[in-house]
């Protein structure tokens, strides 16, 4: 059943590589400058000085894996099956860890008919509680104090109508609000201070902001190139009309089809992945206006900003690669090929050193977690996981065993 999800998403999220001619070729180090290629080739890969632990979900395997990367290499520390339907694919998609590191939370996409949201202990993977959400809950993030979780209800298999973001009280594991936003919300991310939540709406070309204190939509932003506009309040019905039955998009509209909205390290800027137009859009939060727009990789999909605010890492779902951007200049420092295609999620380690990238693979292929050194700008490790590796969340760094 979930493989049908991949087929639908490929139709919705991606444009076939053949549509734009032959795929772009990448060197072993991606597409850095000639000077960088020479220096990178000469520098040895340094062994990490500590262990990095993170969780990865595999949608088609109903798997959550705890992965350890360190001086001893990369390995699966432990793994477990999740979900309530033993004879069906449940489809875990999003994952996040509580700020105190005691719990992790997983969104389960499939249910009867609604998806669910689960809380597990990090010490022994035992479930603590769960609650029902909307249709196809996907990306999740907790507030900085860990008290609330915001989960985007992607509504992949439903009608092309506005969906919602669920708000869950993590202590009681109760859904306290379901906020209508726009069509196919994805990429639930919060500002560093936890006062604002952002999601990108693929089918409406919208960025939506939720005030986490009032639990209501405070602003939205039209992202289509040449028609950028920030507006107060929730989107009107006309904002969704182009994707409703009988609606038609203007012929001159350059669609963004956003799949991710990522606040910067200081919360003053937002970075939006335009999956269809292969661009990054930067939005000034205070002015609620576009400040920069630049070219990205083929099918840019998920984003992560390094904790020091210096780099933006983007996964290129169609391009079988990741891009590393210098945020001061908006320049692509390097584009690095990945082990497999259908590149999905990314998280950067708290010390700014490594980017951990998931790759779904195709058909019956195993999913992949690949590690990229952001100093050497190269791939340094990878490991196979269950089919359709997707959400990834950092647990902790610790001294080497």
Measured at the alpha carbon of residue 62, what is the angle toward residues 164 and 313, in degrees to the nearest 5? 65
pLDDT for residue 262:
98
Per residue in 345-401, pLDDT (tens digit) is 999 999 999 999 999 998 889 999 999 999 999 999 999 999 999 999 999 999 987
Count how many residues are written for the chain: 401
3-class state of residue 29 by DSSP = coil
pLDDT band (50, 70, 90) for residue 220: very high
Domains of the chain: 2-14+50-239+253-398 (2.130.10.10)
Please report which confidence band the pLDDT of residue 18 belongs to, taking 50, 70 and 90 as the band edges.
very low
Does residue 213 or residue 41 have the better pLDDT? 213
Among 80, 68, 93, 84, CA closest to 389 = 93
Instruction: Select the more confidently predicted residue: 378 or 2.
Output: 378
123, 124, 128, 130: CA torsion to nearest 10 = 110
> Token digits for 333?
């420092």
Q: Please, which residues have CB within 8 angstroms of residue 37's CB and are 6 or more apart in sequence?
A: 27, 29
Q: Each residue of 141-157: pLDDT tens digit?
A: 999 999 999 999 999 87
pLDDT above 80 for 5 = no
pTM score over 0.85: yes
Q: Determine if the peptide bond prior to 91 is cis (ω within 30°).
A: no
Q: Which residues contact 61 (CB under 8 A, 6 or more apart)?
A: 81, 367, 385, 386, 387, 388
pLDDT in tens, 241-277: 445 444 455 656 789 999 999 999 999 999 999 999 9
Convert the pLDDT of each residue in 281-293 to its tens digit.
999 999 999 999 9
In this prediction, residue 1 carries a pLDDT of 45
User: Are the C-beta atoms of residues 169 and 140 closer than 8 Å to each other?
Assistant: no
- Rounded Cα–Cα distance for residues 18 and 34 (Å): 29
Alpha carbon distance 61, 368 (integer Å)? 13
**pLDDT score of 83:** 80
């Amino acid at each position: 059943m979930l493989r049908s999800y991949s087929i639908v998403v490929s139709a919705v999220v991606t444009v076939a590589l053949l549509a734009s001619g032959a795929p772009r070729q990448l060197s072993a180090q991606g597409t850095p400058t000639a000077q960088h290629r020479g220096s990178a080739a000469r520098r040895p890969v340094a062994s990490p000085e500590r262990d990095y632990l993170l969780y990865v979900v595999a949608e088609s395997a109903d798997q959550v894996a705890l992965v350890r990367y360190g001086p001893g290499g990369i390995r699966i520390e432990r793994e477990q099956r999740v979900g309530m339907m033993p004879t069906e694919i449940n489809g875990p998609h999003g994952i996040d860890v509580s700020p105190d590191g005691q719990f992790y939370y997983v969104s389960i996409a499939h249910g009867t008919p609604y998806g669910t949201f689960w809380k597990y202990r990090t010490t022994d993977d035992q479930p603590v509680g769960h609650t029902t959400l909307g249709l196809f809950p996907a990306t999740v993030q907790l507030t900085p104090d860990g008290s609330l979780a915001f989960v985007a209800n992607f509504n992949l298999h439903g009608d092309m109508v506005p969906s919602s973001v669920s708000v869950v009280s993590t202590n009681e594991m109760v859904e306290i609000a379901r906020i209508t936003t726009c069509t196919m919300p994805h990429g639930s991310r919060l500002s560093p201070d936890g006062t604002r939540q952002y999601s990108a709406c693929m089918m409406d070309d919208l960025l939506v902001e939720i005030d986490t204190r009032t639990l209501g939509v405070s602003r939205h932003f039209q992202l289509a190139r040449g028609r950028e506009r920030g507006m107060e309040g929730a989107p009107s019905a006309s904002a969704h009309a182009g994707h409703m039955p009988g609606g038609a998009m203007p012929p001159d509209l350059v669609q963004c089809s956003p799949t991710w909205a990522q606040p910067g390290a200081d919360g003053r800027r937002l970075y939006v992945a335009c999956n269809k137009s292969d661009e990054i859009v930067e939005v000034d939060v205070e002015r609620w206006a576009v400040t920069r727009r630049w070219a990205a990789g083929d099918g840019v999909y998920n984003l992560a900003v390094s904790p020091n605010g210096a780099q933006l890492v983007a996964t290129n779902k169609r391009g079988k690669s990741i891009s590393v951007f210098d945020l001061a200049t908006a320049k692509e420092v390097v584009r690095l090929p990945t082990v497999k295609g259908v590149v999905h999620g990314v998280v950067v380690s708290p010390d700014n050193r490594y980017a951990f990238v998931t790759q779904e693979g195709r058909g019956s292929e195993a999913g992949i977690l690949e590690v990229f050194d952001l100093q050497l700008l190269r791939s340094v490790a990878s490991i196979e996981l269950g089919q359709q590796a997707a959400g990834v969340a950092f647990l902790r760094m610790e001294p080497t065993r």
